[in-house]
Structure 1
Amino acid sequence: MPAPATGPGRRLLRRVPVRVRHHWKLLVGCAAFVSVLTVVFSTVRVQPYVTGGGGRGGDEVTQDIAGTRDLFDATVAHDISLTFRDADYERMVDAFAGEGEKEYVEADLIVDGTTIPSVGIRLKGNSTLAGLTRGGESIGGRPGGPAGGGDPAAGRPGEGDAEAGRPAGGDAAAGRPGGDDAAAGRPGGAPQGGGPAAGGARPGGARTSLKAEEPETLPWLIRFDEFVAGRRYQGHREVAVRVGGMGGGSAVLNEAVSLRLLADAGEAAPGYAYTRFVVNDRPAVARLVVEHPDATFADDLGDDGVLYKALATGRFADQGDDPTDYQDDFRQVTAKGSRDLQPVIDLVRWVADSSDAEFDAHLADHVDVESFARYVAWQNLLLNFDDMAGPGRNYYLWYDLATKRFTVVGWDYNLTFGGRADQGPHDTGRMGGGAPPAGGQRPEGVPAPGGARPPADAAVPGGDADAGRGGGNRLKERFLASAAFKATYEQAYRELYRQAYAGGAALASVDELVAVVSTVDGHDARAVGTEAERLRTLIRERTSRLATDEVITRS
């Protein structure tokens, strides 16, 4: 019998564990199978499909702080104070100035007497921050920086920042053409056509400049669970502290009035309230705080559904089947892990691909038409040029899992009441002005009065050709251009006009909100009085101008 081999190869083999040697064929087979999978599927995109669960889902809530009073009780003044380390704040400003990053700072918060330690706060906005200075030098308007869109702090462009996506150069406060008035082609903030008689007074004018040395004046997003997982305040994960001067002056009365009218009409609208706001023992100022739509907000929209946010960097355009191609367009807010973006993708593709006849016949299968008609009517009535078709793409989509239909939910009304008082029901709003000038040409692709459909080959704002160039939304424009929905839209418009304007609700809202903000320590009485009178003048004019419009007078 030959002697067993004792060479180097044999000695190495004996170092392999016995069990491995016994099952070497199985192991080699598995390795070969993995190699085949790698070769075959390495170039194949795997698309996730989620079929489970209902629409709730989301982060687990482990602590919900009750507080002493409802934060969004708008009938009373509130009190909010923030305390943070100066060194942390300076690092945050450095990050924003250098890279446009909006990093969170840890702060202690007191809300109406309730102390909440270790919340996260960060700057909020994009073109809002274009006028931000430090030491007298601009840090918010550099090319490609924060004013140009994007939200690095959230890891997604434009998330949560209503002003994202506007041209980077537009900021009157920073000494450049642009901002609220220059975008409308008028230097210095003069209303188009002159004073109120020519189309309505503007309630605010150019926004104020912002100084890093005055953190109490900056726009903030407060997140309760940034440093303490699972924490909420009265069910809310985040609240926004609005900046003064964007469209409604220091008190942002235009947004508060808009939210009051929407809520009183039973529409889905974020909560809001006026508060005394103090940062690190600096002087108190009056600020408007607004609910940031999250799972708690979604609870009021329906029993079972999914909430999606349109991003300012997005397009309402077909980009194929891959959900990752829509990451700059929409963000899922609720039901993460149990639902996905597929319903939104299906809606976008259907709106893009359907014929006129299919759109008219089947829109109600995809969208709550009556609710959508009210949404579109509200944006016109409130002179909100920056809605779902505006440069900020300010809207959410609620997908009802029972009906399989979408509802469009408005968001960010800080540029309402900024147009012409004589903007008609079928006129398209613009920054600082409504209908085209008398005798002027209507922009190509904009529906003509009466809802006439543009030619089939016309460029429609918001379609693929216009995506990313300032505004437009294919769903809204196809809806307004369709004769099939004209009666539904005009009926909603009449009802809401009579409630908000003819019934006096808008003027009453101004008076009620002025009464509240006047009790807030730190409010500017003179500025509030001026802003309120401008807003009243515009509302009176709009009430009078629309009263004779054929849409309103038609029974």
Structure 2
Amino acid sequence: MAPLPPTRRQKVVRRLPRRVRHYWKLLVACVAFVGVLAVVLGTVSVRPYVTSASDEGADAVTQNVAGTKDLFDAGVAHSIQLSFTQAAYDKMLDQYFQDGEKEYVEADLTIDGTRLPSVGIRLKGNSTLGGLTRDGKAATRGPGGFGGENRPGRDAQPPGGGFPQNGQLPEGFTPPDGAQQPGAAQPGQQQPGAAQPGQQPGGGFGRTALKAEEPEKLPWLIRVDEFVEGRRYQGHRDLAVRVSGMGGGTTVLNEAVSLQVLAAAGEVAQKYAYTSFTVNDRPTTARLVVEHPDENFADQMDGTGVLYKSLATGRFTDQGDDQTDYQDDFQQITKKGSQDLQPVIDLIRWVTTSSDKEFDAKLDEHVDVESFARYLAVQNLLLNFDDMSGPGRNYYLWYDLSTKKFSVVGWDYNLTMSGDGTSGPHDSVSMGFGGDRPQGQQQGAQQPPAGMQLPEGVEMPGGNGGPGGLGGGHTLKERFLASAAFDEVYETAYRELYTKIYGSGSALSAVKNIVAVLRTVDGGDSGTLASESSQLEDLITRRTSSLAQDEVITQR
């Protein structure tokens, strides 16, 4: 009997590959399962978590440009040229002035004669950009002053209340008799934000007046791999071009001196150099370039670990287990994909919930106590108003994967050496009112000076704010300094670092050496440099003499 001709269905089936015919039931089941997932989970948000314990990094370097000389050889003058189109620059400004977003612009970069095409550049800073104008007008949604950028879900005012973000006294504010606006110079002080010779006053609390029409004077972050994947310059991914006119005047001499003495004292510090800086066909200026804490910087740390950056919008408060809820508080810099933010969340939770007894007994299980004591001593010695407890939240956390402990890494020293040179080891460093409050004093709303009248709705800094106000404060720092259990380790670190920074003459020598280099940098102003270096030397001399008589140093 002859076989029956195949049916239409059998003809279709035979056209399919043999493996598909063999496993068709499994394939149908998989398709059905995917369909169920799409229906069930289609409206469920997926939260990214990384649970790997690997210590591997994620970014592969495929091109490392050697250059002609070490960019961070601080003993010689350097040169940097940037060129970009006006259309790209205008688009970047539109984005920033309308939405507060800092987008990268493609530019060509030349460092010490070595050309790097298609780098990315963007505006850098938060409070620093508070004085930026375009055609005479400020941004409608720029950075939120010392409290950080105005982002959805964040209050427009700095955390803990405080003064408005434009750095000006609010309408209805009446200072007490004889009192000056915060940011004004006090007798015997070199105050942040004070107009330096040849500099426009403006910008409010520590800010400087910046104009979009003068890109050669703006703060920039240069990213060499933004448009060319895997590229580095001498191992560096990012370079920070620091802004003039903050606490250190047009030369930012105070920041360079701070970085120099920190390195000489054996403390963690970014490298720096002075360079001539030219943008398109604009005038050349002398600028400070600082190593930006990135993968290359992390590789220089002791041991293997993860680097986290505290953001200006950070609050160091427990916000639950969802790591995405901390996106405005910390940014993971290294080992993305192999590590996550959980150690930071655990630290925040422990610091903010532990009892005083537990904090004293077990802090060394979470934090490298001796390293932290040195960090805090340095901030006081250098009169750094804007450290981890300052309104800019300028610090990084380094998590050692072997010890499971955190260290605090300083960053952004342009408001150092610009306060009261007679402040003691246990005095808070402040730019505003209440600068003589003991460090670590339990926080609450500050009380205005006698005779001060605040307008309705305006509060003195307090709450999560800290010494010096203006939305500052940090629970870890405050609890450490308020505890007698850590007095000995703090004071021991303070004495040792005082000797290395001031007692040895290192700070004064640093000023002289840096000034000698700056005189050779194109675009500098010798008259302004002489004036600013003289002011800084006077403050260092006064601080050295004052601390030499303090009981912490003399041990009397």
TM-score range, shorter chain: 0.7 to 0.9
Task: Check conservation: 2:88, 2:105, Cα contact below 8 A.
Answer: yes
In structure 2, C-alpha distance between the alignment counterparts of 1:15 and 1:283, rounded to whole Å: 76
Task: Check conservation: 2:50, 2:338, Cα contact below 8 A.
Answer: no
In structure 2, C-alpha distance between the alignment counterparts of 1:388 and 1:464, rounded to whole Å: 12
Segment of structure 1 superposing worse, 470-479 or 124-133: 124-133
Segment of structure 1 superposing worse, 203-212 or 262-271: 203-212
Change (3 A) 1:226 1:150: farther
What are the superposed Cα offsets for residues 150-185 of structure 1, whole Å, 9 maximum, x if unpaired? 669xx9999xxxx9999794456xxx449xxx9997
Give the equivalent residue in structure 1 for 2:497: 496
What's the % identity of the aligned pairs?
A: 58
Match of 2:191 among 191, 194, 202: 202
What runs of 5+ residues in structure 2 fail to find an aligned partner?
1-6, 196-206, 447-460
Match of 1:146 among 143, 160, 168: 143
In structure 1, C-alpha distance between the alignment counterparts of 2:66 and 2:376, rounded to whole Å: 36
What runs of 5+ residues in structure 1 fail to find an aligned partner?
1-9, 448-459
Give the equivalent residue in structure 2 for 1:53: 54
Instruction: Write out aligned runs for 1:490-529 (5 A).
Output: 490-529=491-530
How far did 1:47 drift?
6.6
Task: Check conservation: 1:258, 1:413, Cα contact below 8 A.
Answer: yes
Give the equivalent residue in structure 1 for 2:457: none
Amino acid at match of 1:191: A
Segment of structure 1 superposing worse, 267-276 or 538-547: 538-547
In structure 1, C-alpha distance between the alignment counterparts of 2:479 and 2:411, rounded to whole Å: 21
How far did 1:216 drift?
0.6
1:422 aligns with 2:422: yes
Task: Check conservation: 2:47, 2:324, Cα contact below 8 A.
Answer: no
1:191 aligns with 2:192: no
User: Structure 2 length normalisation: TM-score?
Assistant: 0.82
In structure 1, C-alpha distance between the alignment counterparts of 2:93 and 2:38, rounded to whole Å: 49
How much is the aligned-residue C-alpha RMSD, in angstroms? 3.7
Amino acid at match of 1:260: Q
What are the superposed Cα offsets for residues 202-226 of structure 1, whole Å, 9 maximum, x if unpaired? 3761444112221111111111011
How far did 1:31 drift?
2.9
Give the equivalent residue in structure 2 for 1:27: 28
Task: Check conservation: 2:465, 2:474, Cα contact below 8 A.
Answer: no
Report the number of matched residues: 509
1:314 aligns with 2:308: no
User: Structure 1 length normalisation: TM-score?
Assistant: 0.82
Give the equivalent residue in structure 1 for 2:473: 472
Amino acid at match of 1:138: K
Give the equivalent residue in structure 1 for 2:240: 240
Task: Check conservation: 1:177, 1:183, Cα contact below 8 A.
Answer: no
How far did 1:126 drift?
2.2
How far did 1:40 drift?
9.1
Give the equivalent residue in structure 1 for 2:332: 332
Give the equivalent residue in structure 1 for 2:540: 539
How far did 1:464 drift?
10
What are the superposed Cα offsets for residues 344-367 of structure 1, whole Å, 9 maximum, x if unpaired? 111111111211111111111111
Task: Check conservation: 1:461, 1:473, Cα contact below 8 A.
Answer: no
Amino acid at match of 1:390: G
Change (3 A) 1:165 1:205: farther
Give the equivalent residue in structure 1 for 2:458: none
Task: Check conservation: 2:160, 2:464, Cα contact below 8 A.
Answer: no
Change (3 A) 1:338 1:25: closer
In structure 2, C-alpha distance between the alignment counterparts of 1:256 and 1:328, rounded to whole Å: 29
How far did 1:262 drift?
0.7
Instruction: Write out aligned runs for 1:134-533 (5 A).
Output: 134-135=134-135, 137-140=136-139, 142=140, 144-148=141-145, 169-171=164-166, 176-177=168-169, 186-187=180-181, 189-192=183-186, 195-196=187-188, 200-202=189-191, 205-206=194-195, 207-431=207-431, 435-436=435-436, 444=443, 470-533=471-534
How far did 1:418 drift?
2.1
Amino acid at match of 2:502: Y
Change (3 A) 1:444 1:29: closer
Task: Check conservation: 2:515, 2:533, Cα contact below 8 A.
Answer: yes
